[in-house]
């Protein structure tokens, strides 16, 4: 087997050196009746060529985003990532290194995490950021738990504009941890009165902007009300590129900012792995989940970096830890950092501007389609339209024509008649005039 | 040359990405344009390339050397897996594009699930957890949901002292009280009688036991079936931490041992890269009793192939998911890599890999046991071998010093001070990826270090490492006054 | 522009530092009338996304070997290369390093070249090999020139089994260097009497085995006759995998062995870059073209490697050099060395056995096709068949059915009626039973 | 740790590639089975990975640092190019598969040819040469063929002393006599009057002049047009060595300067990677006079798009290829990379790149000219700056020592002892890929070295490098008794 360096002679010699007769002597502690003495009912080893063919055949059954006009978003976005990024993250020293617990020989990882933290803090306009979370949704759940720790309260208020799957993650965890969650109804029109839900019992209010429907939300009044009640504002985003163009939550009074970083540096990957961004105010550092990288000096006085504040973590505090997390999304964070180090604020702003311009163009073009109504007022790259038919059927019909048009709200929130015709449409820098023309033309046909 | 931070050498008014800018247009941001400063350097590609290549050189990596981290399982990461994960049909598909356009992706997840269930002898698998600890959380949430569904509300989770810290942390996260169970002195495994007493003491209030097997001392719990029986009799569940499952793939099925739930670290057992700390992936296999509670999304066998169930509205009778662990469907990129690894090995190769891992660990054990101290005697270990610091007694060298001195010899330190059940633990896991020649060199190096410690050459240890990109770092001051991001230096005082 | 680190401010500052007013002052030596003061009539800069799209569109017009049943060979072969190989050759330190003239900081390159030379010498059963040539065809021309230097004669005899394009390369160079070349007619049946052509004027005789038509040639009698006449035998191969299974030229008396190494480690690449293998007897080392890597020690007594015998080379000897070559095919040689280091003799033999087995299977299957005659007796992975119709038309008809069936001899040697119906068919480990079934079935249809 | 050779640690009876072996079958090798020994180690993948990763770390690379090699042009190699070259539609197509299945490939070559001809102001381009020197050979073969076609048989090629060694080697290879032409003392450029005298002396017997422009001193030949005129008047051709074409892309067209043939090193000017010594690619652009002689294969404009002409039988009137440079169609993989680079830059970016390259070289010049010696005075240079060793006089430090000491400072040495026209030459080409900060650090480092040499710190130089993977190597003994491959060590003598 190509991955196993021992030859049969090696094995025999080593068993002799160990002083046992057979390999099974080393497995003697496994209860006899539970031992597998035969091979499992699974295929035998395969050559690389065979594996490649088998997996390629599966891959060929899927339709890649790059191969069609593509407008699917709702939490994950198709952006163009420079080839340099994927090349660099495949460097052996990044790809096959462990968590940097031994900082003397992992300064490479530690330094990029420090760069990552600085980038995220600046993007969100917050004091500090951690070294990444699994993704935006789990980060949001961790933010709620953190708010509970900070406020010593147990009630979270979730906006109806929060991504429905993020909401499900928070609710699931809260439910089993016996916390209270007040989830507002789906809010495609951006009319919910979330201020009314915030009271003195409230630990935190969770608001996404741009929200699931694409609407940009003014966070300032919500922050004001939350702070008035002693609650924290958790601001969520799923499209980090928006921060290149719109006012960041940190400048609007958010206490915790959490979001999905996939758009920068990372591919779609059918939903994972992604990279959660998590930032907060300095005063809450010690309540923060996840890894943190900090600056220090070595025995020769040289600047260096270490994982720090580990007293919050499970490997020191065990059942008193701030969370059970013991990995971050290291390599995805590296991809994020490299891509953003190439973009810089200038490039990010340009990229965001194109995304927005393409959204504006598509919105304008959709005005020509009879029966289509755009529900979203202020938006970045994504907006919701109301179709004259059920959105899921329209999307399937368009897919059959080779166009991936967006996400029907009913895919995530089924069974609600008022949402059945809604379609969330995303735009990025990869969309061309031809893509939009194709979508509009096909939509007219499907709706005719 | 020292490598500065990007903020210290990059231009803040340039970009290393070219865009075709649109004509002027009217923005529709509703007055939410960014006003807050955003100062991020934009490097030209050659600058970025050189910066990150140089940074990478300060890292140790399995591709460059043996990585003897017990319990962390640093094995070879085949590049075929990387290539497969980057096929556009896997890497460039959106989690919410129409299911009719991702049939191959769903089929891949289903195939991987089939392998995991078959290997472990279980009934269901929750695929979506994003890492091992997330899988633990998922498994314990399923257990909590199962108790709830049965109208029970037990408050206690039993955890042995040798457990990974994530175990008690996870239990506490879900509101459980953690009760420690004793280890047998002679080998650190669970004391069955003590366990039974603990169960009796908390009758009716025990939700689960969380156990690692093989345990973190590298030993297989011989009474595992009896432990499982005792737990099941108490109406509790057996959560197995699968961090060490790589020792027994193809040799025993956790389901046959009585395990109700076990997460599988795809990076440890199935070779997905560690990536400097992630991303991981932690699918949780579930026994028949827990299967109904698997979280959304899950795959149901349909007449026309596998069906992805994403919402509560789509449930059928008997399906009682406790909720959802994450947005979307989990770590697809890791699934592809893991399946590529499994298909490559096949049933025979996976078994061989476990055998080689155990063989290599024992080879290291016998190579060192005369000089280093085995806390539980010269019995065979599984895939990792645990030493304690008895052999360093009176040398003035600590476990930490000893481990740091390995760096100067070209090795990453082994896992230190874990598990907690022995003093000054040193846990070595060579994995099946090492050749005999590699192990021989490693053993010789450690023997040399031991002799050096015995001979009183304390300088070699106390100041180590000397030859690494950095020497020992001041972690105390880092934590006392945390500097977590770069700040522009204050402008120099104006003269006068 | 993303590849240019200077900002406009940098440029202005630097011009000031240099003490000139404008960049054009630095180009003042260019005659005024020849200066381009405007941009060339070529497109302007393009984003990475745009370039990727433009080139992908061109790539999409081609039919990749992996996407169809594929039997095309005749000097380049479709083999499966392990993913590790391409990963490793993309390591920055290999990919972006220069020729190892400064051995203190290029031991990586030098050591793999030493490994490469050893592998090639062992494969060919020769004393020494150089650090690679551009490819097999140019290597063959260099071998002929080398033979001229060794023998001080100017007449080369080329077998009719030599790859027609190799022959053209040798003839072209010889023609302009006023050397004599006797080229025997195309020899698909393997019946030429080359011994009769070797005389006391002959510098070298060039014989390919397996030859262009797939025939394995017994080199021993040719070597005997050549040596009797004081000439050198130059043995050529285009399929290096054959050396895993058939007797190497070095064991049959060849004086120079030269061939194409593409099959190991390297892709098809539409014909280049490839890697030429070149080996000879110890006594001819100083007449050998190309780079050589040798073992030595450094100032501390440690083993190290250097480029050596450079007194043969152009940068020392200028117009007295053994050849004008000053590059090798370094990265392709690395790919070769890594792939072969994985294969080992065991794997190479297995791979060669599969190639041969597939050829035997296809030959057997073709026996069922009416009118198809296999001309080749002893073969490795490639053989020539005579079709009842013109081979080029048959190949086009099969291509239209999605099968790439082989190379019509007339593509390389047009205008000869006796060759018009001949088709050279190659087999490798990538061919499956399905591939063969598809070919046979389609061939029956086309010939019906 | 020292890295052994694969022959020193690999197993000779294993393989790191898995195959699905066929059933037994009757071989049809005609009795030619291999009997000669074949002993090659077969490494498991993890062994091979680690070995080559470790080897790579002993290399300097442009991705890791400035590479100031004059004339060699070590510029950034964009990874987009690598990605594009690996598209299956380019990387996985066979040179002899039906032309109907490779239309995109032929179109790509035609597009690249169009760019090259447009940039250089020429009429044709021979695409197939495999490297720069091969391109020289091709150009000179075209010239020889043109003379032959005109019934001439001149015997002499003029080459200036500053030329690359390949120029005389190529001329000699084709049977020409090389006659050297003098340089002007004041700046090393060609002395037009001396050239004219030489032409008169050998009237009717001159085939060509081979000239590098900008020349290897980094200077543009100001009288280039007059030189070309003189050569043309003598019925000879102007071959231009294109090694330094990167200095003037978009600033001047060689065709407008009177060049008849010029090879273009795609790796120097258009960023294809050097790869540790190759593969290169050296297309040769040709003037109208030489165009008919371009070798096979070439692309002819057809009514339905470009047509690849591969054989003499397919020629049309006026096409007189002198033969063929190589099997197949040349370095397709390099074509894709070069075109990717050109499309990325565009006409404006290519011009900017040349300007930046020249700007950077002059910035280095002014940063060092007060301490190091410019042989031809403080005049602007093109893309590279030439120093001689006057500044080292009486320091006891040689050019070689000085260059080797740069290694200890983290830099690759510059080109040394070339060109031959000045004593102890040091030729520095930073390229456009370096940032100003990078140049500042480089200049500061060289200034420090110069001061150190002046201050008599000779140890820093004579023993350098001290901190590299190897110190200076014994090249003399390597050449005296060449060891060119690994041999198994003789078995130890049997006792007694």
Closest Cα in chain A, distance from residue C341 (Å):
12
Q: Is A91 close to B53, i.e. CB distance below 8 A? A: yes
Q: Per residue in A142-198, pLDDT tens?
A: 999 999 999 999 999 999 999 999 999 999 888 877 789 999 999 998 899 999 999
- Taking contacts as CB-CB distances below 8 angstroms, the residues of chain B near D434 are 46
Percentage of residues of chain D with pLDDT beyond 90: 92
d(CA D466, CA D115): 46
| Token code pair at residue D57 | 């770390």
d(CA D483, CA C113): 13
- Taking contacts as CB-CB distances below 8 angstroms, the residues of chain D near A50 are 20
d(CA D389, CA D429): 17
d(CA A208, CA A214): 10
Torsional sign, CA A61, A66, A71, A74: positive
Q: Per residue in B395-419, pLDDT tens?
A: 999 999 999 999 999 999 999 999 9
d(CA B78, CA C342): 13
Least CB–CB distance from B18: residue in C1, C82, C86: C1
Query: Is the per-residue pLDDT at D495 higher than 50?
Result: no
Please give the full DSSP string across D164-225, using - where no structure is assigned.
Answer: -THHHHHHHHTTPEEEEEPBPTTTS-B-HHHHHHHHHHTTT-EEEEEEESS-TTS---TTHH
Sequence-distant (6+) residues with CB within 8 A of D207 are D143, D144, D147, D154, D155, D156, D157, D176, D236, D237
Least CB–CB distance from B46: residue in C5, C45, C47: C5
Query: Is the per-residue pLDDT at D320 higher than 60?
Result: yes
Q: Where in chain A is the domain with CATH 3.40.640.10?
A: 83-340
Q: Is A49 close to C80, i.e. CB distance below 8 A? A: yes
Closest Cα in chain B, distance from residue D419 (Å):
29
What is the strand order of the sheet C276-280 is part of?
A: C128-129, C276-280, C256-260, C232-237, C202-208, C155-158, C180-183
Q: Where in chain C is the domain with CATH 3.90.1150.10?
A: 68-79+345-447
Beta bridge partners of B309: B298
Cis peptide before B419 (omega within 30 of 0): yes
Q: Per residue in A326-345, pLDDT tens?
A: 778 999 999 999 999 999 99
CATH of A68-79+345-447, one of 3.90.1150.10, 3.20.20.70, 1.10.3720.10, 3.40.50.300: 3.90.1150.10
Class for domain C83-340, per CATH?
A: alpha beta
Q: Max alpha carbon distance in chain B (Å)?
A: 84
Q: Is A82 close to B45, i.e. CB distance below 8 A? A: yes
| Token code pair at residue B67 | 């990585």
Torsional sign, CA A438, A439, A442, A448: negative
| Token code pair at residue B346 | 């096949």
Q: Is C342 close to D132, i.e. CB distance below 8 A? A: no
d(CA C359, CA C215): 12
- Taking contacts as CB-CB distances below 8 angstroms, the residues of chain A near B250 are 36, 39-40
d(CA B2, CA B54): 9
d(CA B438, CA B432): 11
d(CA B198, CA B160): 12
- The verdict on B4 touching A (C-beta cutoff 8 Å) is no
- Taking contacts as CB-CB distances below 8 angstroms, the residues of chain B near D53 are 61, 63-64
Query: Is the per-residue pLDDT at B494 higher than 60?
Result: no
Alpha-carbon separation of residue A90 from A116, A267, A343, A368, B421 (angstroms): 18, 14, 20, 46, 38
Residue of C nearest to B14 (CA): C7
d(CA C431, CA C427): 7
3-state helix, strand, coil in chain C (%, to 5): 45, 15, 40
Query: Is the per-residue pLDDT at D494 higher than 80?
Result: no
Sequence-distant (6+) residues with CB within 8 A of D49 are A92, B63, B76, B79, C84, C88
d(CA A379, CA B252): 55
pLDDT at B31: 96
Q: Is C5 close to B47, i.e. CB distance below 8 A? A: yes
Closest Cα in chain A, distance from residue D87 (Å):
13
Chain B residue set in contact with D, beta carbons under 8 Å: 1, 9, 18, 44-47, 49-50, 53-54, 57, 61, 63-65, 75-76, 78-79, 344, 410, 433-435, 437-438
Provide mean pLDDT across the span D190-219: 94
Against chain A, the chains showing at least 3 CB pairs within 8 Å are B, C, D
Against chain D, the chains showing at least 3 CB pairs within 8 Å are A, B, C
Q: Max alpha carbon distance in chain C (Å)?
A: 82
pLDDT at B496: 43
Beta-carbon count within 10 A of C375 CB: 18
pLDDT in tens, chain A (448 residues): 999 999 999 999 999 999 999 999 999 999 999 999 999 999 999 999 999 999 999 999 999 999 999 999 999 999 999 999 999 999 999 999 999 999 999 999 999 999 999 999 999 999 999 999 999 999 999 999 999 999 999 999 999 999 999 999 999 888 877 789 999 999 998 899 999 999 999 999 999 999 999 999 999 999 999 999 999 999 999 999 999 999 999 999 999 999 999 999 999 999 999 999 999 999 999 999 999 999 999 999 999 999 999 876 767 677 777 777 777 899 999 999 999 999 999 999 999 999 999 999 999 999 899 999 999 999 999 999 999 999 999 999 999 999 999 999 999 999 999 999 999 999 999 999 999 999 999 999 999 9
Q: Is B65 close to D46, i.e. CB distance below 8 A? A: no
Q: Is B76 close to D49, i.e. CB distance below 8 A? A: yes
Provide mean pLDDT across the span B273-277: 95
| Token code pair at residue A100 | 């940097």
Q: Is D56 close to C41, i.e. CB distance below 8 A? A: no
How many pairs of residues across B and D have Cβ atoms under 8 Å apart?
Answer: 53
Provide mean pLDDT across the span B94-119: 98
- Taking contacts as CB-CB distances below 8 angstroms, the residues of chain B near A401 are none
Alpha-carbon separation of residue A227 from A121, A214, A315, B302 (angstroms): 21, 26, 34, 50
Beta-carbon count within 10 A of C253 CB: 16
pLDDT at B1: 64
| Token code pair at residue D395 | 């320091």
Least CB–CB distance from A169: residue in B97, B166, B325: B325
d(CA A445, CA A371): 12
Q: Which residues 384-443 on chain D approach chain C with CB closer than 8 angstroms?
A: 404, 407, 412-413, 418, 432-436, 438
Q: Per residue in D327-371, pLDDT tens?
A: 999 999 999 999 999 999 999 999 999 999 999 999 999 999 999
- CA D128 to mean position of chain CA atoms: 15
User: Can you tell me whether residue A221 is helix, strand or coil?
Assistant: helix
Intra-chain end-to-end CA distance of chain B, in Å: 35
Residue of B nearest to D409 (CA): B1
Q: b/e per residue, C7-39, with b = 16+ CB within 10 A? A: beebbeebbeebebeebeebbebbbeebbbeee
Residues of chain C with pLDDT under 50: none
- What confidence tier does B384 reach under pLDDT thresholds 50, 70, 90? very high
Residue pair C94/C334 in contact by the 8 Å Cβ criterion: yes
pLDDT at B259: 98
- What confidence tier does B183 reach under pLDDT thresholds 50, 70, 90? confident
Residue pair C422/C385 in contact by the 8 Å Cβ criterion: yes
pLDDT at D2: 85
Q: What mean pLDDT, rounded, does chain B reach?
A: 95
Mutate to test the interface with B, among C5, C52, C85 (most CBs of B within 10 A): C5
Query: Phi and psi at residue A16, in whole multiples of 5°?
Result: -60, -45
Q: Per residue in C245-283, pLDDT tens?
A: 999 999 999 999 999 999 999 999 999 999 999 999 999
Name the CA radius of gyration of chain A, rounded: 25
pLDDT at D496: 43
- Taking contacts as CB-CB distances below 8 angstroms, the residues of chain D near A4 are 44
């Amino acid at each position: 087997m190509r991955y196993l360096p021992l030859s049969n002679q090696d094995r025999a010699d080593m068993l002799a050196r160990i002083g046992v007769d057979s390999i099974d002597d080393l497995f003697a502690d496994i209860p006899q009746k539970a031992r597998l003495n035969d091979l499992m009912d699974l295929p035998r080893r395969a050559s690389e060529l065979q594996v490649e063919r088998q997996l390629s055949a599966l891959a060929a059954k899927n339709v890649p985003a790059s191969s069609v006009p593509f407008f699917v978003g709702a939490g994950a976005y198709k952006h163009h990532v420079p080839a340099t990024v994927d090349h660099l993250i495949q460097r052996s020293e990044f790809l096959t290194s462990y968590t940097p617990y031994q900082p003397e020989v992992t300064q490479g990882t530690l330094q990029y995490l420090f760069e990552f933290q600085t980038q995220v803090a600046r993007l969100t306009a917050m004091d500090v950021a951690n070294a990444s979370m699994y993704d935006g949704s789990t980060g949001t759940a961790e933010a709620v738990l953190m708010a509970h720790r900070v406020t010593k309260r147990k009630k979270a208020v979730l906006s109806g504009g929060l991504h429905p799957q993020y909401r499900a993650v928070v609710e699931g965890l809260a439910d089993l941890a016996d916390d209270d969650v007040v989830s507002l109804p789906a809010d495609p029109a951006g009319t919910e009165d979330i201020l009314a839900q915030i009271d003195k019992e409230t630990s935190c209010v969770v608001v996404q902007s741009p929200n699931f429907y694409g609407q940009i939300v003014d966070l300032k009044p919500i922050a004001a009300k939350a702070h008035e009640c002693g609650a924290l504002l958790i601001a969520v985003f799923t499209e980090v590129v928006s921060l290149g163009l719109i006012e960041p939550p940190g400048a609007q009074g958010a206490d915790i900012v959490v979001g999905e970083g996939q758009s920068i540096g990372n591919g779609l990957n059918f939903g994972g792995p992604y990279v959660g961004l998590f930032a907060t105010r300095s005063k809450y550092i010690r309540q923060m989940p996840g890894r943190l990288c900090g600056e220090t000096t070595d025995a020769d006085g040289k600047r260096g970096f270490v994982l720090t504040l580990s007293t919050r973590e499970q490997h020191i505090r065990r059942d008193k830890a701030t969370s059970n997390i013991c990995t971050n999304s290291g390599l995805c964070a590296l991809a994020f950092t490299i891509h953003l180090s190439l973009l810089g604020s200038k490039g990010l702003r340009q990229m965001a501007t194109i995304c927005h311009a393409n959204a504006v163009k598509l919105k304008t073009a959709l005005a020509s389609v009879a029966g289509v109504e755009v529900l979203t007022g202020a938006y970045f790259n994504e907006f919701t339209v109301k179709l004259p038919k059920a959105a899921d059927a329209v999307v399937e019909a368009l897919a059959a024509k080779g166009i991936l048009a967006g996400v029907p709200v009913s895919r995530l929130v089924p069974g609600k008649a008022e949402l059945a015709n809604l379609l969330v449409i995303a735009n990025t820098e990869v969309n061309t005039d031809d893509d939009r023309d194709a979508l509009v033309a096909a939509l007219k046909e499907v709706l005719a | 040359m020292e490598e500065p931070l990007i903020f210290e050498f990059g231009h803040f008014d340039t970009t290393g990405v070219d865009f075709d800018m649109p004509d002027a247009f009217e923005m529709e941001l509703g007055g939410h344009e960014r006003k807050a400063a955003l100062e991020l350097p934009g490097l030209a590609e050659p600058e970025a390339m050189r910066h990150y290549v140089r940074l990478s050189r300060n890292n140790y990596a399995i591709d460059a050397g043996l990585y003897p981290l017990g319990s962390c399982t640093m094995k070879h990461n085949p590049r075929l897996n990387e290539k497969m994960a980057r096929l556009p049909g896997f890497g460039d598909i959106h989690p919410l594009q129409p299911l009719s356009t991702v049939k191959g992706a769903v089929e891949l997840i289903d195939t991987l699930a089939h392998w995991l269930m078959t290997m472990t002898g279980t009934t269901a698998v929750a695929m979506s957890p994003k890492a091992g600890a997330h899988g633990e959380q998922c498994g314990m949430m399923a257990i909590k949901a199962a108790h709830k569904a049965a109208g029970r509300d037990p408050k206690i989770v039993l955890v042995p002292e040798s457990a990974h810290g994530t175990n008690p942390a996870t239990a506490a996260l879900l509101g459980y009280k953690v009760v420690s169970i004793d280890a047998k002195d002679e080998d650190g495994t669970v004391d069955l009688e003590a366990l039974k007493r603990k169960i009796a003491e908390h009758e009716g209030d025990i939700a689960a036991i969380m156990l690692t097997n093989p345990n973190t001392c590298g030993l297989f719990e011989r009474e595992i079936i009896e432990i499982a029986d005792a737990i099941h009799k108490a109406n509790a569940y057996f959560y197995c931490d699968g961090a060490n499952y790589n020792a027994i793939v193809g040799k025993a099925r956790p389901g046959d041992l009585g395990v109700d739930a076990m997460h599988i670290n795809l990076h440890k057992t199935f070779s997905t890269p560690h990536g400097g700390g992630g991303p991981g992936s932690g699918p949780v296999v579930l026994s028949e009793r827990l299967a109904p509670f698997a979280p959304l999304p899950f795959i149901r066998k349909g007449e026309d192939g596998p069906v992805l169930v994403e919402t509560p509205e789509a449930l059928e009778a008997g399906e009682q998911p406790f909720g959802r662990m994450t947005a979307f469907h989990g770590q697809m990129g890791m699934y592809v890599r893991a399946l590529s690894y499994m298909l490559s090995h096949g049933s025979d190769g996976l078994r061989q890999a476990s055998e080689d891992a155990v063989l290599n660990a024992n080879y290291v054990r016998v190579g060192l046991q005369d000089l280093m101290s085995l806390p539980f005697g010269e019995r065979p270990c599984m895939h990792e071998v645990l030493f304690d610091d008895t052999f360093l007694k009176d040398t003035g060298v600590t476990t930490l010093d000893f481990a740091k001195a390995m760096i100067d010899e070209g090795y990453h330190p082994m896992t230190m001070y874990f598990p907690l059940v022995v003093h000054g633990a040193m846990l070595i896991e060579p994995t099946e990826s090492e050749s005999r020649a590699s192990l021989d060199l490693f053993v010789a190096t450690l023997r040399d270090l031991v002799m050096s410690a015995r001979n009183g050459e304390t300088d070699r240890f106390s100041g180590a490492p000397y030859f690494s990109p950095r020497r020992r770092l001041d972690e105390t001051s880092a934590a006392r006054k945390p500097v977590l991001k770069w700040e522009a230096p204050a402008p120099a005082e104006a003269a006068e």
